[in-house]
Structure 1
Amino acid sequence: MRLLLIADTHVPKRARVLPAQLLDEVDAADVVFHAGDWVDVATLDLVQERSRRLVAVYGNNDGPALRERLPSVARVELESCRFAVVHETGSAKGREQRCAAQFPDTDVLVFGHSHIPWDSHASNGMRLLNPGSPTDRRRQPYATYLTAELADGRLGEVRLHNLPPRS
């Protein structure tokens, strides 16, 4: 099963549209995870229309219209692998311990907010993944997103994709 992990799209504030490469990935994915900060309802509609399955939350920059349609935490089990999605996890220091305590029944936690890619494991074995942002790289060298493979209940290769600079 092909997974796409995105967050912090911030359309139209940080970019007018989502990158074409990212939209191609939405089309190819079996499941799309979005960890919040959509900013625009039209972006949610677009991703939802193109996704086979969308698991998504709202972020701190998402207004009432998005909060009416999305939860603050989303959970899904795929092939016996338990996923949770949340926008914000707090500071990097102590993140694994905090998240292990807050999400004890989770195998993979997808989060956003920082725009900084993150891939680590908590002491309970939970994998923490932040795809960065495909539109607002902040202090990072590239705008990014993640893809992953899920097979037999196990998360296989997780790949960070760098997007070319916007023209």
Structure 2
Amino acid sequence: MELVIIADTHLPKRARELPAPVWAAIDAADVVLHAGDWVDVSLLDALERRARRLVGVHGNNDGPELRARLPEVAEVELAGLRVAVVHETGPKTGREQRCAARFPDRDLLVFGHSHIPWDSVAPGGLRLLNPGSPTDRRAQPFATYLTARVAAGRLDRVELHRLPPR
């Protein structure tokens, strides 16, 4: 099972649309995980039409229409992998311990908010992934997103993709 992991798209505030490589990855993926801060409901509509399967949550910059359609936390099982998606996890100090305590029965936690790519493993084995942002790199050198593969309940081939400058 092929995944695309995105967050903090902030459309159309930071960009008018997702970059073409992200759309190509979405078209090839089995599941798209979006960890919040969509900003405009039109991207949710487009992803619901285009993605084979979409798992998303709302973020702190998402208004009432997005909050009505998306949960704060999503929990799913993908090919045996127990996944949680949330927008915010708090400060980086203590993140692994805090998230392991909050999601003790999950194998993977996808989160956003910081626009900073993150890949770590908490005590007990919870993997934490933040894809950064494909549209709003802030202080990062590149806009980014993640792809990954799930097989037999395991996550492998996690790859951070750097997008060319706009």
TM-score range, shorter chain: over 0.9
- Aligned to 1:84, what secondary structure does the other structure show? strand
Q: Does 1:49 align with 2:46?
A: no
Measure the CA separation in 2 of the matches of 1:161 and 1:57: 22
Per-residue deviation, 1:21? 0.8
Deviations 1:123-144 (A, max 9, x none): 0100000000000001100000
Matching of residue 37 in structure 1 with residue 49 in structure 2:
no
SS at match of 1:112: coil
1:133 aligns with 2:146: no
- The alignment status of 1:75 with 2:40, answered yes or no, reads no
TM-score (norm 1): 0.98
Residue pairs, 1:1-167, within 5 angstroms: 1-166=1-166
Corresponding letter in the other structure for 2:123: S
Q: Deviations over 1:3-58 (max 9, x none)?
A: 00000000000001111110111111000000000000001111111100000000
Gapped regions of structure 2 (runs ≥ 5): none
Q: Secondary structure at the match of 2:66?
A: helix
Please report how far the alpha carbon of residue 80 of structure 1 lies from its aligned counterpart in structure 2 after TM superposition. 1.5
Matched to 1:19, the amino acid is: P
Q: Which amino acid aligns with 1:12?
A: P
Q: After TM superposition, what 4+ stretches of structure 1 lie above 3 angstroms from structure 2?
A: none
Count, aligned residues = 166
Separation of aligned partners in 2, 1:50 and 1:57: 17
Alignment RMSD: 0.5
Normalising by structure 2, we get a TM-score of 0.99
Q: What amino acid sits opposite 1:165 in the alignment?
A: P
Which amino acid in the other structure matches residue 11 of structure 1?
A: L
Q: Deviations over 1:119-164 (max 9, x none)?
A: 0000010000000000000110000000001111110110000001
Q: 1:94, 1:34 → 2: CA distance? A: 23
User: How many percent identity over aligned positions?
Assistant: 71
Q: Give unpaired runs (5+ residues) of structure 1.
A: none
Q: What letter is aligned with 2:21?
A: Q
Give the secondary structure class of the aligned counterpart of 1:147. strand
